[in-house]
Each structure stands twice: as structure tokens, then as C-alpha cells.
């Protein structure tokens, strides 16, 4: 990290006052101050740089960002003296000149990502994967499931099944729109997809039949309760990566993950997972992952219990554990503890406290929480001059990375977005480029840029379409903005933790240059 530290200039205080007034009056530059246990830093939005600074410079900047310029300078001179003010202001001026920081007060426009290139050409040739919803049926009734009746943004459970014809059309759609890719992916999703094991086999066979040049990689998301030796062997022989839903030990898992009769599903899930692990053996076990939902009541003790549970699966030592919070609004009120009953232990901060002890050798659950966010930071593009274009928040180009194909054949951005958000096409009629361009690119950009342009987190923000559409399927800016505070808090914590790790071991995160952040 480059510092702001420099020799003090011999200019009069009036020069520094005028210079700072010009920089910080009316609109503040887009930046974020960071403080660790042993250092002081500035993240600059325009250049994406993180710069170290002296405490005095940090104190002056802190006042300038929070207060009116005259008041900030008066307060600083009172506490640090006139010479201290000149020294700190000189360092800021030199850093602005040499590093080109603090020059952007408002992001000019979106336009840095594939959204603003030849969208039709990209989507007609380079779609990377599809997820097919083979069924909307599921034998489980997990209390936080987004398909429960109380959650209004998604469809409810139903008996709807994908037809053989729609399954084949989905596979043909992938082939026709991915010919520039050497490898493509097909995901199997539900409901509980293993209720349709024969259908899955027919889809795999058809895929093998029509894809003669490209490599097809398969994955499936399952609760694991229906896995048998026959199913596990088939998944292995066809190279499936398998994501099994399990929240931890039996007492924690069964609190939310119940079947339609209200019985906990842990024993059936662990049985299926063991069968899968035995079939996949030591060589292939890396293709098994666990999806764990960290749900109330929250506590550090609970996180440690969950982590120890997964560490203790000796028959599955290489398991990848992906831990996440439930979707906002998905938990019934009766499952949410009264405020103050139990400490809400932040998942990322808990993981960081353990991760910093051993970096890349940390346990799977800990790495699963942190590695992607640190990889995004270490791989971020650092600019020599402030850029005038910014990516469309954390949005993917609709349909390129993944198309979610519902049981009836409609095409959606992904499985997480509101069921009622506009579809982007149908496997029978093709992609709807008008909707993609108008709703998901032009309208989103136009309605977002007004407030995003004044946010220091615009380069690092991971808000996406999932956060932007309400239960009526409308692009809802107020709903999107409702996530901003928590996103900025998370970004600030991630930056602070990232800098702390770089202080302690500058090369410790180098392995994350190889991490696929997409």
C-alpha cells in the first residue's frame, strides 16, 4: 500500500485553507476512512486505491468528511496547532497530486461492464450455464424457505413438473446460445430435484447426445434425504458437483429443516450425505459442498458448534461449507427472538477472527464466508487516474452467467430473484432482448445512478437485481436502497479486515489471485 507520508511544505495557512475548502466544500469526495489496530488508511473510490496515512492526516480528513470545512479546520488547529495543520494539509495536497485521489465527488455514469456492450451478441453466443427447475415439489417444509406461503416474493410449493419437451428445449437453448464457450454448466434445481431422478437421467442423456464439442459440467442442489447408492453412483459417474443442504448438528438443523409432517430431517440428510461421500471417495469428495443457513438465534457459541460439527465429519474431510443468512423476510415472526435476548454474532466478523490465525489453511466454513470478499478486494483494478465509468453495482449481465429456467419454460435471471420480476425470455420463443435492455439495464441504471453516484462504495458494491424487485415484480428503488446501509457496513468491515491482514502478512492473501470471483 502506498502512503501519503511526505515532507511538510512551507506554504501559508491561507493556501491550505483555500485548497481544502475547494476540495471538501459543498460535495465531499467519494472515499472511506479506515482505522485498524495499528494503522490509518483512506480508500479512494475514484482510483480504487487504499493509501496509508499518518494519524494527523487521518484526523484532519475525518473532520473534513464529517463537518463543515471551516469548523473542521478550526477544530483541527485547536487540537494540533497551526504547524500540525500545515503539515497534514500538505500531505493531503501532495497525495492528491501524485496519487490522483479525492478528485471524484460524483460518479459520472454506469458503463464499465458488459451491460453496455453488444448485449445481443454476448447472449446469443456466450451463455455460461443454465439451472433447470425440474420440479416445484419438495417433501421438506424448511421454516425459512423462500417458497413458503408467508414469503410473498416467490412462488409457493406446487406439484408442477417440467415436461420432457421443456427439458429438451432448455438443453437446446443452452447449446444454441453458448457456442463460443469450451465448457458450459447445467444445474439441476427444484423443489427437491431428486424426486425426479428418472427425468434428470433423461436430461443428462440428451445433453450428452447433442453436445459433441463442448464439455458439459453438471451440478445439483439437494436436501440429501433421497440419496441412495444408485443415485450417488449415477451422480459420480456423470461428474456431478453436489450441493447438500445441512445447517449443522441435529439440534440446530432440525430447528428449521423439517418435513411436511413437522419432523426434523437431519437423520435422513446425514444418511444421504454419507452414502454420497462413500461413493465419491477421497479423489472426488471435493465435488461435494454443503449449504448451511445460519438462522436465529444468533450467537458465537452457535457458530462454533456448527463449525465443529463440520470439522468432525471425518468421512468427509474435504467438504466445502458455504454459510449464509436466511433471505430477508423469509423467517416467520415466531422464530425471531426478542431484541436483546441473545447477541447477534456477525458471521463475517466471527470468521475473520479465526481466519487471520491461518489465512489459506483455515477451515472450510471460515474460508467459505470470507474468501470471495477478500478475493474481490485483492483482485480489484487499481487506476492511475480516476475512472468516469462504473460497473452496474454487483449485477451480472442478465442471462450470461446463468439462466434460470422455470418448470414451464420461462427464463429468469437466477433462482434468487423475485418470481414475479419480468422474465427474460422463454425456451420456446427465445430471449426477450427488449426487456433485458429496457428493464434490467436502462431502467435500473437510470433509477440507480442518482444516489449511487454519491456513494463511496459504488466500485465495490454487490447489490444486484435480487435486491431491486418487489413482490409485485416491479423495479423498486426504495427496496433496493433499503439494503444500502447494511451493504456499506459490510464493505467497511471487509476493507478494514483486508487491510489488517495485509499489515500482518502482505503476501498471505496472494493465493486469492487465483480465486474465480465470478
- Intra-chain end-to-end CA distance of the chain, in Å: 25
pLDDT of residue 328: 79
Give the burial class of 458: count Cβ atoms within 10 A of its Cβ; 0-12 exposed, 13-18 middle, 19 or more buried: buried
SS (H, E, C) 32-68: EEEECCCCEEEEECCCCEEEEECHHHHHHHHHHHHCC
- Distance between CA atoms of residues 111 and 468, nearest Å: 19
Beta bridge partners of 44: 31, 49
- Distance between CA atoms of residues 487 and 491, nearest Å: 6
Residue ranges of the chain with per-residue pLDDT less than 50:
1-2, 5-10, 340-343
Beta bridge partners of 215: 183
- Give the pLDDT confidence of 438-484 residue by residue, as tens digits: 999 999 999 999 999 999 999 999 999 999 998 888 999 999 999 99
pLDDT of residue 10: 42
pLDDT of residue 1: 42
pLDDT of residue 344: 57
Sequence spans of domains, the chain: 13-105
Closest CA relative to residue 38, chosen from 63, 80, 1, 92: 1
Return the axis-axis angle of helices 347-355 and 364-378, rounded to nearest 10°. Answer: 90
pLDDT of residue 333: 66
pLDDT of residue 158: 86
pTM of the complete model: 0.91
Amino acid at each position: 500500500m502506498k502512503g501519503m507520508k511526505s515532507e511538510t511544505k512551507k506554504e501559508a495557512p491561507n493556501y491550505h485553507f483555500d485548497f481544502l475548502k475547494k476540495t471538501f466544500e459543498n460535495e465531499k469526495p467519494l472515499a472511506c476512512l479506515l482505522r485498524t489496530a495499528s494503522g490509518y488508511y483512506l480508500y479512494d473510490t475514484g482510483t480504487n486505491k487504499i493509501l496509508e496515512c499518518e494519524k494527523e492526516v487521518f484526523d484532519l480528513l475525518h473532520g473534513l468528511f464529517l463537518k463543515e470545512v471551516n469548523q473542521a479546520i478550526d477544530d483541527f488547529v485547536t487540537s494540533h496547532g497551526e504547524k500540525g495543520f500545515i503539515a497534514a494539509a500538505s500531505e493531503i495536497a501532495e497525495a492528491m497530486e501524485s496519487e490522483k485521489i479525492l478528485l471524484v465527488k460524483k460518479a459520472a455514469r454506469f458503463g464499465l461492464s458488459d451491460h453496455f456492450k453488444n448485449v445481443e451478441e454476448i447472449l446469443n453466443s456466450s451463455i455460461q450455464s443454465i439451472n433447470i427447475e425440474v420440479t416445484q415439489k419438495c417433501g421438506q417444509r424448511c421454516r425459512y424457505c423462500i417458497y413458503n406461503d408467508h414469503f410473498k416474493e416467490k412462488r409457493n410449493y406446487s406439484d408442477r413438473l417440467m415436461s420432457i419437451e421443456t427439458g429438451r428445449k432448455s438443453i437446446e437453448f443452452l447449446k444454441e446460445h453458448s457456442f463460443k464457450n469450451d465448457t458450459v454448466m447445467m444445474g439441476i434445481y427444484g423443489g427437491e430435484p431428486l424426486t425426479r431422478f428418472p427425468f434428470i437421467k433423461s436430461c443428462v442423456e440428451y445433453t450428452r447426445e447433442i453436445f459433441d464439442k463442448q464439455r458439459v459440467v453438471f451440478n445439483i442442489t439437494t436436501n440429501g434425504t433421497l440419496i441412495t447408492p444408485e443415485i450417488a453412483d449415477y451422480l459420480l459417474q456423470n461428474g456431478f458437483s453436489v450441493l447438500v443442504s445441512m445447517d449443522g448438528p441435529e439440534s440446530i438443523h432440525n430447528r428449521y429443516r423439517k418435513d411436511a409432517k413437522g419432523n426434523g430431517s437431519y437423520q435422513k440428510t446425514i444418511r444421504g450425505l454419507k452414502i454420497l461421500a462413500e461413493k465419491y471417495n477421497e479423489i472426488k469428495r471435493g465435488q461435494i459442498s454443503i449449504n448451511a443457513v445460519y438462522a436465529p438465534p444468533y450467537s458465537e457459541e452457535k457458530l462454533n458448534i456448527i463449525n465443529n460439527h463440520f470439522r468432525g465429519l471425518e468421512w468427509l474431510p474435504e467438504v466445502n461449507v458455504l454459510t449464509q443468512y436466511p433471505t430477508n423476510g423469509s423467517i416467520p415472526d415466531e422464530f425471531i427472538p426478542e431484541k436483546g435476548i441473545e447477541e447477534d454474532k456477525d458471521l463475517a466478523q466471527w470468521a475473520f477472527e479465526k481466519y487471520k490465525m491461518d489465512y489459506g489453511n483455515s477451515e472450510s466454513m471460515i474460508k467459505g464466508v470470507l474468501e470471495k470478499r477478500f478475493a474481490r478486494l485483492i483482485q480489484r483494478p487499481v487506476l492511475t487516474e480516476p475512472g468516469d465509468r462504473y460497473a452496474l453495482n454487483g449485477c451480472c449481465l442478465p442471462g450470461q452467467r446463468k439462466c434460470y429456467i422455470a418448470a414451464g419454460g420461462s427464463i429468469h435471471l437466477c433462482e434468487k430473484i423475485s418470481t414475479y420480476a419480468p422474465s427474460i425470455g422463454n425456451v420456446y420463443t427465445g430471449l426477450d432482448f427488449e426487456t433485458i435492455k429496457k428493464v434490467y439495464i436502462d431502467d435500473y441504471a437510470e433509477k440507480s445512478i442518482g444516489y449511487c453516484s454519491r456513494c463511496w462504495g459504488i466500485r465495490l458494491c454487490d447489490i444486484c437485481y435480487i435486491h431491486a424487485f418487489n413482490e409485485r415484480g416491479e423495479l423498486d428503488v426504495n427496496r433496493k436502497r433499503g439494503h444500502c446501509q447494511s451493504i456499506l457496513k459490510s464493505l467497511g468491515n471487509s476493507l478494514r479486515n483486508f487491510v489488517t491482514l495485509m499489515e500482518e502478512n502482505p503476501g498471505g492473501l496472494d493465493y486469492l489471485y487465483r480465486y474465480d470471483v465470478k
